[in-house]
A and B are shown apart, each in its own frame.
Chain A
Amino acid sequence: DIQMTQSPSSLSASLGDRVTITCRASQGIRNDVAWFQQKPGKAPKSLIYGASSLQTGVPPKFSGSGSGTDFTLTINSLQPEDSATYYCHQYNSFPLTFGQGTRLEIQ
């Protein structure tokens, strides 16, 4: 199974800050990575697919990069509504797997 090691598990940032969340795959997975945002009691929302492609309707303050084993999600100009848990996900091979999540708190 491909393990997705996500870091940090939680972080606190201020309004207007930029943050970066990283995900490392246990083996090469090309660019078969997606990123999701999840708020309490809600379904995950897709932000990024193909490691760097923005889903329709997602603001460009979100961006993704990486290929192979190392991937990042960057969020610019943090606003209160960005407070959520973020997950990376690999769809390169079965079983599909997710990172353990990063809880982002906006101060």
Chain B
Amino acid sequence: EVQLVESGGGLVQPGGSLRLSCEASGFTFSDHYIDWVRQAPGKGLEWVGRSENKANSYTTTYAASVKGRFTISRDESKNSLYLQMNSLKTEDTAVYYCARDNGFGFWGQGTLVTVSS
């Protein structure tokens, strides 16, 4: 069974940092694209960024709103994807989801990040 489990959310002050994790199971981690998608409270879905698969050298792409502040990385040994978030702003407050492949057939349950003083 395909599973994606996010963790690492919490309360952080503006300007602070946080690292989210997405642990994958039930499939060959290196074969698949995995993206981060976020949803601010009461709002719609916003794509954050992508890590392509190993065949594409784990190339990363980011939304303009987070480029230069957020970094996506992978640890194959742990079947985990990470989202390092620096210079956090209040507008980064959201539930962060990881989702697999074009069309996002599988999603994690999400982890809440609150940026507030």
Contacts and interface: CB of A to CB of B under 8 A. Distances in A.
Nearest to B46: A98
The size bracket of the interface on B is 20 to 34
Nearest to B35: A96
A62 interface: no
B104 A95 contact: no
Contact of A43 (B44, B105, B109): B109
A71 interface: no
Contacts, number: 51
A98 B44 CA distance: 8
Contact of A44 (B45, B46, B61): B45
A89 B105 CA distance: 12
Contact of B105 (A32, A46, A94, A98): A46
Contacts of A101: 44-45
Interface string B29-52: 000000100000000111100100
Contacts of B110: 43
B104 A36 contact: yes
A34 interface: yes
A95 B64 contact: yes
B64, B103, B105, B109: which has the most chain A beta carbons within 10 Å?
Answer: B103
Given A44-B104, A55-B105, A95-B47, 11 more contacts: A43-B97, A43-B110, A46-B105, A49-B102, A50-B103, A87-B45, A89-B104, A91-B104, A94-B50, A98-B45, A101-B44
25 contacts: A32-B102, A34-B104, A36-B45, A36-B104, A43-B97, A43-B107, A43-B108, A43-B110, A44-B104, A46-B105, A55-B105, A89-B103, A91-B102, A91-B103, A91-B104, A94-B50, A94-B61, A95-B47, A95-B63, A95-B64, A96-B35, A98-B44, A98-B45, A98-B47, A101-B44
